[in-house]
């Protein structure tokens, strides 16, 4: 397949590009380095040569030169987004401008150049506070943070283009993503990190202190419960989605998670157990806003429609993170 990947200099997108390329596909990458890094692009170019082409571009700007030059694109896989919940509550303008506008310009340009297939990264944050658990795709969408609202706006844009312009799509609603590539070459670089498992591993390695940032919620131990899906499992679902669309599959919205939940404190305990390292767990001065108490996915649809199911555990994610952070204690340097 010829795949265009947006956000390929970021955490999930760089691992996706590596995975697609390793399977023999041709990849065109697009990123503006707003939150991505130059180093993974250099690694991908060196590793895959002319199988990988990269454009430094903002999705809100004119994308015509890219689509004119890359005339054979089978599927667009859209990862690029601003995606920090707490930041979205303090800087709503950034999220309402960047996420929907990028998606709108992307699908409009795709339509202009006759590209009709897209796999879209969305989020379980579109559901808001869970009315029942596990959450299926029919659960009401009522975001309780700006990030979730901005991604729901993006979903609606894609759905309208599907209805009016014949765009064929898979929208994936991610639950919590963790882990690194199996060889530890690609991983999460944001510093300070906003990912729980990553932060716990960094603390176990003595890289940075660990702080609890949640507000107390109504769960057994008072900490939020989330569904932690491995980043490779997640990206393997995107390969299946691209193949499904090329095979004529109809548009769908699909959850990606594991179907199991772990609380924040359970994850911290698991990291301590797996690493054999004790580290202090401190309360942050400021708690995160817009968090739900419990978000766990029902993933039956992913299994039925795509034949996908997760293969990796939290322990697998921790093992890859240990390699990643030992090699890159502060993530990518640039």
Phi first, then psi, for residue 274 (nearest 5°) are -70, -30
- State the Cα–Cα distance between residues 39 and 104, nearest whole angstrom: 28
From the number of C-beta atoms within 10 Å of its C-beta (0-12, 13-18, 19+), residue 273 rates as exposed
Per-residue pLDDT at 282: 85
Residues 6+ apart with CB under 8 A from 24: none
Phi first, then psi, for residue 232 (nearest 5°) are -75, -40
For 183, the token pair is 């060889």
Query: What is the rounded average pLDDT for all residues in the chain?
Result: 95
Per-residue pLDDT at 334: 74
- Please name which of 186, 137, 149, 166 lies closest in space to residue 320, comparing C-alpha atoms: 186
Per-residue pLDDT at 278: 93
Full-prediction pTM beyond 0.85?
Answer: yes
Element at 289 (helix H, strand E): none
Q: What is the pLDDT of residues 152-178, one digit of tens each?
A: 999 999 999 999 999 999 999 999 999
Q: What is the pLDDT of residues 284-326, one digit of tens each?
A: 777 666 677 888 999 999 999 999 999 999 999 999 999 999 9
Q: Of the listed 37, 147, 174, 228, which one is catalytic?
A: 147
- 147 counts as catalytic: yes
Per-residue pLDDT at 194: 82
Residue whose tokens read 């150049």: 113
For 273, the token pair is 């157990």
Q: How many Cβ atoms from other residues are within 10 Å of residue 163's Cβ?
A: 10
Q: What is the pLDDT of residues 221-249, one digit of tens each?
A: 999 999 999 999 999 999 999 999 999 99
| Position with higher pLDDT, 292 vs 254 | 254
- Please name which of 33, 29, 6 lies closest in space to residue 332, comparing C-alpha atoms: 33
Domain ranges of the chain: 2-178+229-257
Q: What is the pLDDT of residues 38-66, one digit of tens each?
A: 999 999 999 999 999 999 999 999 999 99
* pLDDT (mean) for 80-89: 93
Residue whose tokens read 């691992």: 15
- Please name which of 5, 159, 149 lies closest in space to residue 75, comparing C-alpha atoms: 5
The shares of helix, strand and coil residues in the chain, as percent rounded to the nearest 5, are 40, 20, 40
Residue 140 predicted with pLDDT over 70: yes
Per-residue pLDDT at 289: 67
Q: Are strands 281-283 and 117-123 parallel, antiparallel or unpaired?
A: unpaired
For 180, the token pair is 């690194």
Superfamily of domain 2-178+229-257: NAD(P)-binding Rossmann-like Domain (3.40.50.720)
- State the Cα–Cα distance between residues 31 and 54, nearest whole angstrom: 8
Residues 6+ apart with CB under 8 A from 322: 201, 205, 275
- State the Cα–Cα distance between residues 334 and 332, nearest whole angstrom: 6
């Amino acid at each position: 397949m010829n795949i265009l990947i947006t956000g390929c200099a970021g955490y999930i997108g760089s691992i996706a590009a590596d995975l697609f390329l390793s399977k023999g596909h041709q990849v065109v990458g697009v990123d503006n380095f707003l939150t991505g890094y130059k180093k993974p692009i250099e690694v991908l170019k060196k590793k895959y040569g002319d199988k990988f082409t990269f454009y430094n571009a903002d999705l809100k700007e004119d994308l015509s030169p890219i689509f004119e030059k890359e005339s054979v694109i089978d599927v667009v896989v859209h990862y690029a987004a601003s995606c920090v919940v707490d930041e979205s509550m303090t800087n709503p303008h950034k999220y309402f401008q960047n996420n929907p506008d990028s998606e709108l310009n992307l699908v409009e340009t795709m339509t202009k150049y006759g590209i009709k297939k897209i796999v879209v990264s969305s989020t379980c944050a579109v559901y808001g506070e869970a009315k029942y658990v596990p959450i299926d795709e029919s659960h009401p969408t009522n975001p309780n943070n700006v990030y979730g609202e901005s991604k729901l706006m993006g979903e609606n844009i894609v759905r309208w283009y599907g209805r009016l312009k014949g765009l064929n799509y898979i929208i994936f609603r991610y639950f919590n993503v963790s882990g690194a590539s199996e060889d530890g070459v690609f991983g999460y670089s944001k510093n300070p990190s906003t990912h729980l498992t990553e932060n716990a591993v960094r603390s176990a390695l003595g890289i940075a202190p660990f702080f609890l940032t949640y507000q107390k919620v109504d769960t057994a131990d008072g900490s939020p419960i989330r569904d932690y899906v491995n980043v490779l499992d997640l990206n393997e679902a995107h390969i299946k989605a691209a193949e499904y669309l090329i095979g004529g599959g109809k548009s769908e919205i699909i959850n990606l998670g594991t179907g199991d939940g772990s609380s924040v404190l359970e994850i911290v305990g698991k990291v301590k157990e797996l690493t054999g390292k004790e580290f202090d767990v401190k309360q942050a001065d400021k708690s995160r806003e817009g968090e739900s108490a419990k978000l766990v996915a029902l993933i039956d649809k992913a299994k039925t429609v795509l034949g996908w199911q997760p293969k990796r555990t939290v322990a697998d994610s921790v093992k890859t993170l240990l390699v990643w952070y030992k090699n890159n204690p502060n993530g990518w340097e640039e």
